[in-house]
Amino acid sequence: MSVFRPSAHALITGGASGVGYAVAQLCLKHSMRVSIVDSSQSSLDHARKSLFLSSSSPSSISNSVTFIQADVSSRSDWASIRQQAGLDVDFLMLNAGIGGKGTWGDEDYFDKILATNLGGVVNGLNAYVPSFKERAGKEGMTAIVITGSKQGITNPPGNPAYNASKAAVKTLAEHLSYDLKDSGVGVHLLVPGWTFTGLSGNEPGSTKAKPEGAWSADQVADYMYAKMQDKKFYIICPDDQVTEETDKKRMLWSVGDIVNERPPLTRWREEYKEEAEKWMAEQKV
């Protein structure tokens, strides 16, 4: 059995654009009901218009899709989401996230990113995991996907709040997978590569061309679907610039900082760059 089946119910945060919207379209192709949650009313309006225009049966969109404006960092908004979407959710995708740049001493930068990227996931899990556990049944009938980031794994310098939020999300997803391992609920950590979404300049309605090397949101959704069918927890997406092999080498080098008692983030330290490049060129994965 698959969670992607007629009449199953998907709830997707950050679902009005980017990867979330692509997954919403994927769900609709499988005749699922979809609740799209987004903080931006204009993005929700654009998503509604796009779905109606692309559908051969606009009335089916009205019957199949619920649009919910909410701030995932707010617990009271999650109470509203539960009321509007209901608890009969079979596929929960916690995808909402924001970017931003800041540095030490910039409290607003840390507060905003951690509240949405980490708090939004915590709130979503607390709102829905109990009902998933109560309705646990056949394997594959229900699933939870949490969107992480490669920056939460390899931790490149320059954006500590964002990296920390995604590192924490990875840890939460791993614990959730373990805690639900006997429940039949599928748990997956989706880690996109370079994807042309709002975080990289592709706002809803934009006519910008996809940069060479980036994946589209549809490619990420299709890759996620294939890996979910294979029951993979870690869904580490490549792109047209970075291969799966390169991703694995970068992750291995990063954990090597701990194992080999090096300073952190050596891949970007001048005194280690030559060693890191040589190691990655010779490493077989």
Note whether 148 and 190 are within 8 A (CB).
Answer: yes
pLDDT of residue 55 exceeding 90, the answer is no
pLDDT of residue 82: 98
Amino acid, single-letter form, for residue 273:
K
Q: How far apart are CA 140 and CA 261, in angstroms?
A: 41
What residue type is assigned to position 114 of the chain?
Answer: L
Task: Give residue-wise pLDDT tens across range 5-51.
Answer: 999 999 999 999 999 999 999 999 999 999 999 999 999 999 999 99
CATH hierarchy code of domain 9-241: 3.40.50.720
Going from the C-alpha of 252 to that of each of 60, 69, 158, the distances in angstroms are 47, 40, 21
Q: pLDDT digit string (tens) for 129-179?
A: 999 999 877 777 999 999 999 999 999 999 999 999 999 999 999 999 999
pLDDT band at 60 (very low <50, low <70, confident <90, very high): confident
- The model carries a pTM of 0.94
Residue 207 is predicted with a pLDDT of 65
**Boundaries of every domain in the chain:** 9-241, 243-285
pLDDT confidence of residue 205: 62
Report d(CA 217, CA 278) in Å as an integer.
Answer: 33
Query: Is the distance from CB of 199 to CB of 100 less than 8 angstroms?
Result: no
Mean pLDDT taken over the chain: 94
> In the prediction, which pLDDT does 203 show?
61
DSSP codes, 189-221: EEE--SB-SGGGT--TT--PPPPTTPBPHHHHH
